[in-house]
Amino acid sequence: MNTVTTKVQRSRAFLTVFLKEVRENLRDRRTLISAFLTGPLLGPILFVMLLTVTLNRELDKAEKPLPVPVIGAEYAPNLIDALKAGGVVPGAPIADPERAVRKQDADVVLRIASDYGKAWRKGEPVQVELIYDSSQRDANTAVERVSQLVEGYARQQGAMRLVARGLSPSTAWPLQVARRDQATPQSRAVLMFAMLPYFFVITIFMGGMYLAIDLTAGERERQSLEPLFANPVARWKILAGKLAAICAFSTVSLLITLVAFAVVGRFIPAEKVGMELDLGLHFAAYVLLLMLPVVLLLAALQSMVAAFAKSYREAQTYISLLMLVPIIPSLVLAVMPLKAQVWMYATPLLGQSLGIVQLLRGDGVTTQQIGLCLAGTLAAAVIVVLATIQLYRSERLAIST
Amino acid sequence: MIEVRDLHKAFGTVKAVDGVSFTARDGEITGLLGPNGAGKTTTLRMLYTLMAPDRGQVLVDGIDAAVDPLGVRRQLGVLPDARGLYKRLTARENIDYFARLHGLPEALLSTRRDALIKALEMDDIVDRRTEGFSQGQRVKTAIARALVHDPRNVILDEPTNGLDVMATRALRQFMARLKGEGRCVLFSSHIMQEVAALCDRIVVIAHGRVVADESPDALRAMTGENNLEDAFVKIIGSEEGLAA
């Protein structure tokens, strides 16, 4: 008795825990589906569907004939002809245009006053009204188109009047604005892809979630934590093995989603609206690098939260709340497009969001930015790991009842 | 050998263990007898270093639990009150997991595991996943994984809890066998007959204190009761929490 066991191969404990957790969870259908199917694929599928719908609608709007109800079309036949030439299909007048616009029955309604003809002949300024609701973002393209056509017609008529009076049209326009848009096809795409970093974070989160719950709260609920801790292995080593298993699952999730995005990126008709999207190998490699410390950070955070919970169900509740945290940086970037400061790169999750958006813009990331991003997140991960180790030392952790 | 000296453990204002001392010797079965809530499980938890005592000392084969908890755990085979198995693993995988955590080399692991499977008569279930195991099958698996590293000292917390008659008989025989191999066997129970049938020494605990530490015969003589159950009631002073 006890002759061989004293020569304990201590380094093996970590690997033993890791392999056992991986094997056990590979046999759990729910974990597998969440980590390798719904988690990593939901993002890309949702993404490509949303984008295709949005892009196609933009395309439709720009090319399609645009029906616009016109009130008082008979007073301004020339204007109506000009609008028709620009692709507008004048419709029958409607009784209550304000209501129709608010109810989204019409994107925009044009109202021409009955004294249009009289004023026009006198050479007095006349008013045409565009009735629309700017809070209906969907209608904005239509409003823009009609408004440009009307203004273009006005400018053209104005110029003709000046010529008729022997003046150069340029007298009336002493200043000309020339717009020089510096947006590249890639940077235009960024507006739409600001949420992409969040998809990656959520994938990592979902990949490890069930393991994190199972390996701490679940193990305690099933009363297997106490016998486990009766083994001659330091608790931090057990935790390390468990964290490694969580990280392995979430990394595989991330890899699957990166591949899926690379495949799906080819089917997004981004170039049709003057955007360029590169989700290929180069992009994937950088995202993987930036996200690696996030994998550890989230695994530790999830384990810590699960260690607080008394039951599997309680842990599930806490962790779903935790899932809302990583959305913050992406939201901040989407709502307030800040100029990136150096410290932001070192902020966990925010740094990754900035880096990924830069990659999408085609600007690339500098070594310094990558360094800050990795160092900042890794530091946060180490702190959370240490806190979780501390939590694992607690006597109460192992007690199931 | 397990030596316990003046253990104290309080949870808030509740004194769960309030000065427990006893010795469990090699080649003997020592029974920790007491009603529910007497402090048996808490005492055992301090023995296998899951909890640290507020005061007092635990020595296992001379190793101080406060100084070298890992060393103590290496000398112990433990069947805790919580005996959860990994449901998605087979019985064999459950046993192997703990064996590897003890650092057993693979060759020795399989000899030890197979010997235990034979001794516990669990050949028929060893390659089944433990999900859906009966209580008896679960306890067998839990004991096998607790003893796979061949510990000199064995701690069993209420091992016969929830077992049917046949399984209980088998387990008792197994414990006698462990004793025969010269091991120190310490088990807790609230069941009189069990303790009477098995133990060389009975430590009776009530309200966190040791109220008697004798051989079964001495216990009968001490209380003047022929029946051990009556002796037990007399010692702990009430019938509270007592199940036959």
Q: How far is B219 from chain A (nearest CA, A)?
A: 33
Cβ density class B46-59: b for 16+ within 10 Å, e for less? bbbbbbebeebebb
Q: How far is A231 from chain B (nearest CA, A)?
A: 6
- Label residue A165 exposed, middle or buried (CB < 10 Å: 0-12, 13-18, 19+): exposed
CB contact under 8 A, A20 and B97: yes
Q: Which of A143, A185, A384 is nearest to A277 (CA)?
A: A185
Between CA A297 and CA A316 the distance in angstroms is 18
Phi/psi at B131 (nearest 5 deg)?
Answer: -60, 125
Between CA A62 and CA A44 the distance in angstroms is 27
CB contact under 8 A, B84 and A229: no
Q: Which residues of A touch B149 (CB under 8 A)?
A: 5
pLDDT digits (tens, 9 = 90+) for A139-154: 777 888 888 888 888 8
CB contact under 8 A, B82 and A9: no
CB contact under 8 A, A400 and B84: yes
- Predicted TM-score (pTM) of this structure: 0.82
Q: How far is A13 from chain B (nearest CA, A)?
A: 5
**In this predicted structure, which of B4-8, B115-119, B214-218, B239-243 has the lowest mean pLDDT?**
B239-243
Between CA B119 and CA B228 the distance in angstroms is 31
- Tell me if chain B has a CB within 8 Å of the CB of A395: yes
Q: Are B33 and B75 in contact (CB under 8 A)?
A: no
Helix (H, G, I), strand (E, B), or coil: what is residue B238? coil
| Single-letter code of the amino acid located at A299 | A
Query: Of residues B95 and A269, which shows the higher confidence score?
Result: B95
Average pLDDT over residues B131-135: 92
Q: Which two tokens stand for residue A57?
A: 């609608």
- pLDDT, residue A55, reads 73
Helix (H, G, I), strand (E, B), or coil: what is residue A52? helix
Between CA B145 and CA B153 the distance in angstroms is 14
Give the Å distances, CA to CA, from A260 to A30, A36, A45, A306.
21, 11, 9, 30
CB contact under 8 A, A12 and B100: yes
CB contact under 8 A, A226 and B71: no
pLDDT digits (tens, 9 = 90+) for B210-232: 988 988 888 777 777 666 677 77
pLDDT digits (tens, 9 = 90+) for A85-107: 888 888 888 888 888 888 888 88
CB contact under 8 A, B103 and A398: no
- pLDDT, residue A6, reads 43
- Tell me if chain A has a CB within 8 Å of the CB of B109: no
For domain B2-82+152-236, give the fold.
Rossmann fold (3.40.50)
CB contact under 8 A, A227 and B52: no
- Tell me if chain A has a CB within 8 Å of the CB of B135: no
Q: Taking the alpha carbons of A245, A246, A247, A248 in that order, is the dihedral positive or negative?
A: positive
- pLDDT, residue A93, reads 87
Shortest CB distance from B50 goes to which of A20, A224, A398?
Answer: A398
CB contact under 8 A, A230 and B103: no
- pLDDT, residue A281, reads 87
Nearest residue of A to residue B99, measured between CA atoms: A231
CB contact under 8 A, B104 and A232: no
Provide the angle, in degrees to the nearest 10, between the axes of the packed helices A196-213 and A281-308: 40
Q: Are A265 and A279 in contact (CB under 8 A)?
A: yes
Query: Of residues A164 and B128, which shows the higher confidence score?
Result: B128
Q: How confident is the model at residue B244 (pLDDT cuts 50, 70, 90)?
A: very low
Shortest CB distance from B80 goes to which of A20, A25, A226?
Answer: A226
- pLDDT, residue A266, reads 79
Q: Which two tokens stand for residue B147?
A: 């003893």
- Tell me if chain B has a CB within 8 Å of the CB of A239: no
- pLDDT, residue A381, reads 96
Q: Which of B122, B178, B112 is nearest to B148 (CA)?
A: B112
Shortest CB distance from A24 goes to which of B73, B79, B89?
Answer: B89
Number of A to B CB contacts under 8 A, please give it: 110
Q: Which residues of A touch B156 (CB under 8 A)?
A: none
Query: Of residues B163 and A242, which shows the higher confidence score?
Result: A242
Q: Which residues contact B34 (CB under 8 A, 6 or more apart)?
A: B40, B188, B190, B204, B205, B206, B236
For domain A65-174, give the fold.
D-Maltodextrin-Binding Protein; domain 2 (3.40.190)
Phi/psi at A175 (nearest 5 deg)?
Answer: -125, 140
Q: Which two tokens stand for residue A258?
A: 């990166």
Please provide the DSSP assignment of A59-126 as one string. Answer: HHHHHS-EEEEEESGGG-HHHHHHHHHTTEEEE---S-HHHHHHTTS-SEEEEE-TTHHHHHHHT---
Nearest residue of A to residue B90, measured between CA atoms: A24
State the complex-level ipTM.
0.92
Nearest residue of B to residue A29, measured between CA atoms: B88
Q: How far is B195 from chain A (nearest CA, A)?
A: 24
Residues of chain A with CATH 3.40.190: 65-174
- pLDDT, residue A10, reads 53
Between CA B117 and CA A59 the distance in angstroms is 71
Judge whether residue B180 has pLDDT over 70.
Answer: yes
Nearest residue of B to residue A401, measured between CA atoms: B82
CB contact under 8 A, B86 and A24: yes
- pLDDT, residue B23, reads 96
CB contact under 8 A, B82 and A400: yes
pLDDT digits (tens, 9 = 90+) for A169-221: 887 777 878 877 777 666 666 666 777 888 899 999 999 999 999 999 999 99
Per-residue pLDDT of chain A (401 residues; tens, 9 = 90+): 444 444 445 568 999 999 999 999 999 998 899 899 988 898 888 877 877 777 777 666 666 788 889 998 888 888 888 888 888 888 888 888 888 888 888 888 999 888 888 888 888 888 888 998 888 777 777 888 888 888 888 888 888 888 888 888 887 777 878 877 777 666 666 666 777 888 899 999 999 999 999 999 999 999 999 999 999 999 999 999 999 999 999 999 999 999 998 888 777 776 766 667 778 888 999 999 999 999 999 999 999 999 988 888 999 999 989 988 887 877 777 676 667 788 889 989 889 988 988 888 788 889 999 999 999 999 999 999 999 999 999 888 888 66
Provide the angle, in degrees to the nearest 10, between the axes of the packed helices A235-265 and A281-308: 140
- Tell me if chain A has a CB within 8 Å of the CB of B70: yes
Between CA A366 and CA A82 the distance in angstroms is 52
